[in-house]
Amino acid sequence: MRLSGFIQEKDNNFNLIRFIAASAVLLGHSFALLNRPEPLGKTLGISIGSIAVDLFFITSGFLVAGSLLSKQSAMDYIWARILRIYPALIVMCLLVVFGLGIFFTSLPANAYLNRPATYAYLGRCMTLLGGVAYYLPGVFSDNPYKGAVNGSLWSMVYEIKMYILLLLFWLVCSIGHAKNGNRVKRTSLLVVANTVFAYILTIARRLYGLEEDLFIHFDFMFFTGATYWVLRERILLSLNIFLAVIGTLLASVLISTQAFSVVYQLSIAYVLFYLAYVPAGFVRKYNALPDNSYGIYIYAFPVQQSLIALFPGISVSALTAASFGITLCFAYASCYLIEQPALKLKKIFGKRTIVTTPSPAAT
């Protein structure tokens, strides 16, 4: 069946995939925050957390592009993105600065609250404008991964940049009051062209031995997802193709990490969409649960750093298990108390036909 046919059925495994991806980020950080090497990273040349973030970006590009190109409303698009990201993010930042920060800072509470850096952190992390601040005065200064309070937020800055870039494509293609059909076609062409260009830049930088440019990387991942939406009528999701892709990925591991990287970037999206739409039956029961992946993503890092500060010498496995349980509580609270009520405000700009709700990317 073509990808477009699966989309019409509406039921899918995106919630489960996002949950697994957010949990993988948590697992990857358990190694990084204890300065331990991650086994998968040594084998593949890419960490489990990085793969998880790529899955978030591809998923987001697919769903967000589908929403914009179907609804064709810039205001609707902007409002939906704001509601999805900022309410939960702002609450998390307030809890971290005025709860966790006061508890873990090595400074007297008054000194901590009077430091300009405290409010600089709050402002930058609540808005994600001008990048992310990582350090609160005196907080986690003795941890193995010194000082970083929430190192997961950096990828959300790139996520927002991708949202803006997609919107700019749409607005450019709307110049001259183009008919809706022409506007969609023009935007679709720009999306595909941008994806191809980003991949060429990625390969060129690798051939010249240059460091990876994160903007180009996430541009490629996000717009690969968007390209799958644009080409949904042409893309066949088949078991034979899926197995061939998996086989090629496994074979590339035996060649070199560079070979795996090239194959991975071209094939990870197909693997994602096959797993999102084809497996059915019992696995779909997960959809009875709310999407808590965003909450897991934004709370896991500060929870992990807190546990490390409280229990020096904690093992990777103990940190992973304990932080997962605690983070899950925060994630569900965020989902029920903040995210779901906020998403109901989408109706302010009229009735929306929602494909599904994308979660922001994470690292």
What are the tokens at 84? 């999805």
pLDDT digits (tens, 9 = 90+) for 34-48: 999 998 888 888 999
Query: With contact defined as beta carbons under 8 Å apart, do 61 and 226 qualify?
Result: yes
Please state, in angstroms and rounded to a whole number, the distance separating the CA atoms of residues 31 and 168: 38
Query: What is the model's pLDDT at position 179?
Result: 63
Contact criterion met (CB below 8 Å) for 84 and 185: no
Residue 39 near residue 324, CB atoms below 8 Å: no
- What is the C-alpha separation between 307 and 153, in angstroms, rounded? 19
Residue 236 is classified by DSSP as: B
Give the pLDDT of the chain (363 residues) as one tens digit per residue: 899 999 987 789 999 999 999 999 999 999 999 999 998 888 888 999 999 999 999 999 999 999 898 877 888 899 999 999 999 999 999 999 999 999 999 999 999 999 999 999 999 999 998 889 999 999 999 999 999 999 999 999 999 999 999 999 999 988 865 566 688 889 999 999 999 999 999 888 877 778 889 999 999 999 999 999 999 999 999 999 999 999 999 999 999 888 898 899 999 999 999 999 999 889 999 998 999 999 999 999 999 999 999 999 999 999 999 999 999 999 999 999 999 999 988 877 655 444 444 455 544
- For the chain, the domains span 13-222+292-349
Q: What are phi and psi of 13, to 5 degrees?
A: -110, 20
Q: What is the pLDDT of residue 152?
A: 95
The pLDDT of residue 34 is: 96
Region at 232 (left for phi over 0; alpha for psi -120 to 50; beta for the rest): alpha
**CA-closest candidate to residue 349, choices 94, 75, 158, 122:** 75
Model confidence, pTM: 0.92
Position of tokens 């937020």?
153
**Beta carbons of 139 and 111 less than 8 angstroms apart:** no
Q: Which residues contact 109 (CB under 8 A, 6 or more apart)?
A: 102
d(CA 257, CA 248) in angstroms, rounded, equals 13
pLDDT at 354: 41
> Tokens 């997802």 map to which residue?
225
How far apart are the C-alpha atoms of 346 and 41, rounded to whole Å?
40
